[in-house]
Amino acid sequence: MTIQEKRTILTMKNPAKVDRLSKAINNMKLNQKHKKRGPADLIRKNTVYRGMTVEEINYCKSIAYKTDEPTLEISVKSTSDNEVQHTIKSSKPLQPKELEELAGVDGITSYIKQTWLKSHRNGEWTYSILVYNVAKDFYNFSQLQKKLSDILPEVKPVKLPKVVPTVKGLLALYVSDIHAGSLGNELTPFPTKYTKSILNKRLNTHFLKTKEYVKDNVYEECWLVNLGDSINSWQGHTTRQGHEVPSENNRTQFDIFVQSLSQYYENIFNSGIAKKYKVISILNDNHSGVDLSYMATKAVELYLMNKYPTVEFIHQEKFIDIYQYGKHRFAFTHGKDEKLMKYPMKAILDDKLDNWLFQYFNHNKCNPEDTFNHLIKGDIHIKNELHGKFGRYVNVPSVMGTSDYIAINYGYTKPGAIIEEYSKCNNNVITFPIWF
């Protein structure tokens, strides 16, 4: 190793890291066949050490194989429990994708909140990257890669059926309160069982009932809307009140959700019921919260986007947000947020809530005189539809059915989901409930 190479490594100011990097570089130089191998292969071949980061491995390759990789100096500083600030000095300008790799961001357990170029002078570019780590008690990136390969089949590009719409309208498939990983509620006044196989069976029933409802029709668009409480808990507790709920551990809940929802979505995509598909996932809820919900729904997206590149995926972190189809305006929400709401949205539309929703839609330029407004929510595990001065107020039932909280406060609630059909230019809505 040259003096310059040693000097570059020493800028990292960590003796243990210097020794690890030096040995890895020497190992690489001994075998030029490893030049095209990725980090995982290099670890498997014992060319580099387990625990080395992607940026460290790429740095070693840049020296050992004389690639065009820049000379780098990387420092890390924790700014909070979940945020880390990376400072990267480079001998050449870096692209956003390169910065993500250097920061070790995987798009599931971590993502970049902010990136900025601090300075550029004398052939040195200095970047600051603020990384948000979604969870600590969870899979690391390599573990997650292996887990996804275990719980999901091999990714092969799939061409969606070529279809011609016969219905100029939107087909919306609403599911809510899946509570993946719940251990049931056998100690409540209305004990029921709820397992992974039961969840899969219910989602498959939703798919089959949808096919039965659609018959030979093909819609312009199909929206698959998950209204939150996708996973039963975070660390065995709700994120809002923090009360304990019987649940599998975080990883098992994640596994169940990712596998079950991926299969459900694939069945819909391959059904030929629509020309265009959109998946909308509400993350801000009171059971799993934004973080775990984000990781789970993002994992589903990363798997499916490679198979179905035309499908649009939306991860809604806002408590409530508006979507548009023709003259229709949809406000999707779970109904109870992660931490701020004093009271959740009720089962019954009272004057106070009606006024709030009227203000909300009006603020977003959705006056009921000009648009057809719909508030679609979950949370309370029941189905009903009410009308206020703002528009329609719809509660979607739970895929899980009765929980302990629901059993005590509302009684037995039948598990189910909803199909709705909308025309672009009129206010006719067809609602078809599905009961499990």
CA-to-CA distance for 168 and 219, rounded, in angstroms? 6
> For the chain, what is the mean pLDDT?
85
Residue 36 has a CB neighbour count (10 Å cut-off) of 9
40, pLDDT greater than 60? yes
List, for residues 304-358, the tens digit of each pLDDT value.
988 898 999 999 999 999 999 999 999 999 998 887 777 889 989 999 999 999 9
pLDDT, position 185 = 65
DSSP 243-288: -B--B--HHHHHHHHHHHHHHHHHHHHTTTSEEEEEEEEE---SSS
Phi/psi of residue 279, nearest 5 degrees: -110, 120
Separation CA 88–CA 127 (nearest Å) = 5
At 211-255, the pLDDT tens digits run 999 999 999 999 999 999 999 877 767 776 567 777 888 888 899
